[in-house]
Chain A
């Protein structure tokens, strides 16, 4: 015992080469799974490129009109006016194109996050073992400084929007998983029993009872995922993801406070619009459910 203690005390700081091991692991993955990474990369690139092409193909007034209309429908005419003002300001500042790129990146990353996160969330809700295993992974993903994902992502996928989006997905998945799982677990026991008592199969129970009742929670997860994705795609400009992040980055490199302020403001305005609109979807549903059980 005391010998072990002595050994520990005399171990020099930095004797554990964890970082070296991670490097070795990354190198091994790159050497042996290059094909898989290429395949993933081209799927993500395809998705991101088509989302961006679609958004850019719309005339400016139409894209703005869609958001103004969403604001009017979901919130109020006041918010619709705000949306118009915010997007107008971005346009006259000359950041429209970058903002649309950022929006496309955010939407692509959000889609992928939900595509992966919601099923994992369902799995965690159904299995305590899964929940216990997944939870620390989520904590890890969420608290690890976001930059750290960028380096291996760039090593696997090269520079560009693919590593940016994938690093963003890693960062933005946790709320989707957590809130899906929470939402399903919160469904009242008797509601689940009602589904079973009327003869639901496992799939029917999930699709007709659990997911619809969990939808407000899942929408809250979507909202958080979008917000985290937006913050991360800005950082992802460091690996060449493009969009508003490029302007932020060059303002830092050139110590251009004015540019930094303008591009930062565009990010904030976009964030407010996305946040309020997606939040309204969850809230509307929650209001309908709150007094129902």
Chain B
């Protein structure tokens, strides 16, 4: 079992001047709405617990106002928790002094923002080197480190330009470079690609996935776009009104949505695209059914369809050299596909 990078335990955040009173009501089971109605206190995060594994892309989803930005800011303590605990690499970070907090942020974590939040008076290179400069790294060392990450995101030729001379997509690549330059083990991204048009967004997702293949960092990614979550997420958490309603892999989320709120996110999304071979297994056939060809359980829908097309015999689902998990037939694949396509369009 992989160690947890972040563990969040019974976390609450109340905005307002009577947080303790609000906590008392919440613990009595009152809702966010009733706390606001009775006390005028805004509940941002309401009794949230989860763990983020080392090296995964953990996507937090929810409608606007559901508390995503608050939750992500609790993790680097831009927002102070009202109650509960946050462990980073097993260490609690909820009771750090101001100085310890500054050290923690310089050492091992960084953040990418929806509005890019670049410094307009700094060149692209100086923006990328910002975190290192703050941490006191000398000019030579920080500029060469910054140059390296600018190359990774394809912006080396623009190092001497200013942010306003770049397009939105390029500006966010600077934001990403700034976050990578400090070589953090954890990157927080709050709707980092939401301000970009769909093409630029997909491009940024590819850059992120490529980077992730080279160096495994833990990425905590906030999004309100299910396609983005399904595309990049190792696991997805869904938030509603300050609470977590479901945490799971993309397949778990699309196969077994916890409630209608979760299902609502699927409405405009073709979830069948995210089906894998293991989801297409025919429940009526025994795994020992002899098939001549096999596919790994993580094969994509398209791979399976290519294998099935034109041939009449079924496919065995098995890891390389492993035993059979089950069998896919044309009709089991079609049934699953229809289930998703028809659910999504009604």
The answer to whether A and B belong to the same complex is yes
The residues of A with any CB-CB pair to B shorter than 8 Å are 188, 190-191, 193-201, 204, 208-209, 212-213, 215, 285, 288-293
A293 vs chain B, min Cβ distance (A): 6
In the complex, the chain B residue whose C-beta lies closest to that of A290 is B164
Cβ < 8 Å to A, chain B residues 46-90: 73, 76, 78
- Asked whether B119 lies within 8 Å of A191 as measured between CB atoms, the reply is yes
Asked if B271 is an interface residue, CB under 8 A from chain A, the answer is no
Q: A193-B113, A200-B102, A289-B164 are in contact. List 10 more A-B contacts (CB 8 A).
A: A188-B117, A190-B117, A191-B117, A197-B76, A197-B105, A198-B105, A209-B119, A289-B120, A292-B164, A293-B115
Interface-facing stretch out of B127-135, B217-225, B322-330: B127-135
Q: Shortest 7 CB-CB distances between A and B: which pairs?
A: A199-B106, A292-B120, A199-B105, A190-B117, A197-B111, A194-B117, A198-B131
A2 vs chain B, min Cβ distance (A): 42
A191 and B122 CA atoms in complex are apart in Å by 13
Q: Note all chain B residues with C-beta closer than 8 A to A204.
A: 134
In the complex, the chain A residue whose C-beta lies closest to that of B101 is A199
Q: Note all chain A residues with C-beta closer than 8 A to B131.
A: 198-199
Q: Note all chain A residues with C-beta closer than 8 A to B133.
A: 208
Partner of B117, one of A193, A199, A200, A212: A193
B100 vs chain A, min Cβ distance (A): 11
A195 and B134 CA atoms in complex are apart in Å by 9
Q: Note all chain B residues with C-beta closer than 8 A to A196.
A: 78, 105
A193 and B106 CA atoms in complex are apart in Å by 14
A201 and B135 CA atoms in complex are apart in Å by 10
The residues of B with any CB-CB pair to A shorter than 8 Å are 73, 76, 78, 102-107, 109-111, 113-121, 130-131, 133-135, 162-164, 171, 178, 182, 188
A281 vs chain B, min Cβ distance (A): 13
Given the interface pairs A193-B111, A194-B111, A198-B134, the reply to whether A291 lies near B164 with Cβ below 8 Å is yes
- Asked whether A285 lies within 8 Å of B164 as measured between CB atoms, the reply is no
In the complex, the chain B residue whose C-beta lies closest to that of A287 is B164
In the complex, the chain A residue whose C-beta lies closest to that of B118 is A292
Partner of B115, one of A190, A198, A209, A285: A190
- Asked whether A199 lies within 8 Å of B78 as measured between CB atoms, the reply is no
In the complex, the chain A residue whose C-beta lies closest to that of B76 is A197
Interface SS, B side:
mixed
- Asked whether B162 lies within 8 Å of A288 as measured between CB atoms, the reply is yes
Q: Note all chain A residues with C-beta closer than 8 A to B73.
A: 193
Partner of A213, one of B78, B116, B120: B120
Q: Total A-B residue pairs with C-beta atoms closer than 8 Å?
A: 85
Given the interface pairs A190-B113, A198-B110, A208-B134, the reply to whether A292 lies near B105 with Cβ below 8 Å is no
A198 and B110 CA atoms in complex are apart in Å by 6
A148 vs chain B, min Cβ distance (A): 40
Q: Note all chain A residues with C-beta closer than 8 A to B188.
A: 197
A126 and B113 CA atoms in complex are apart in Å by 23
Q: Note all chain A residues with C-beta closer than 8 A to B76.
A: 197
- Asked whether B118 lies within 8 Å of A197 as measured between CB atoms, the reply is no
- Asked whether A190 lies within 8 Å of B119 as measured between CB atoms, the reply is no
- Asked whether A199 lies within 8 Å of B135 as measured between CB atoms, the reply is yes
In the complex, the chain B residue whose C-beta lies closest to that of A195 is B134
Q: Note all chain A residues with C-beta closer than 8 A to B105.
A: 196-199
A209 vs chain B, min Cβ distance (A): 7
Between-chain CB contacts (< 8 Å), 25 pairs: A190-B113, A190-B115, A191-B117, A191-B118, A191-B119, A193-B73, A193-B78, A194-B118, A194-B119, A197-B78, A197-B105, A197-B109, A197-B188, A198-B130, A198-B178, A199-B103, A199-B105, A199-B135, A208-B133, A209-B119, A290-B164, A292-B162, A293-B116, A293-B117, A293-B120
Q: Note all chain A residues with C-beta closer than 8 A to B110.
A: 197-198
A208 and B132 CA atoms in complex are apart in Å by 13
A197 and B110 CA atoms in complex are apart in Å by 6
- Asked whether A213 lies within 8 Å of B121 as measured between CB atoms, the reply is yes
- Asked whether A213 lies within 8 Å of B115 as measured between CB atoms, the reply is no
B88 vs chain A, min Cβ distance (A): 14
In the complex, the chain B residue whose C-beta lies closest to that of A212 is B121
In the complex, the chain A residue whose C-beta lies closest to that of B132 is A198
A226 vs chain B, min Cβ distance (A): 22
A33 and B121 CA atoms in complex are apart in Å by 45
Q: Note all chain B residues with C-beta closer than 8 A to A195.
A: 134
Q: Note all chain A residues with C-beta closer than 8 A to B103.
A: 199
B186 vs chain A, min Cβ distance (A): 11
- Asked whether A288 lies within 8 Å of B111 as measured between CB atoms, the reply is no
Q: Note all chain B residues with C-beta closer than 8 A to A201.
A: 102
In the complex, the chain B residue whose C-beta lies closest to that of A197 is B111
A145 vs chain B, min Cβ distance (A): 40
Q: Note all chain A residues with C-beta closer than 8 A to B178.
A: 198
- Asked whether B121 lies within 8 Å of A285 as measured between CB atoms, the reply is yes
- Asked whether B117 lies within 8 Å of A288 as measured between CB atoms, the reply is no
Q: Note all chain B residues with C-beta closer than 8 A to A200.
A: 102, 134
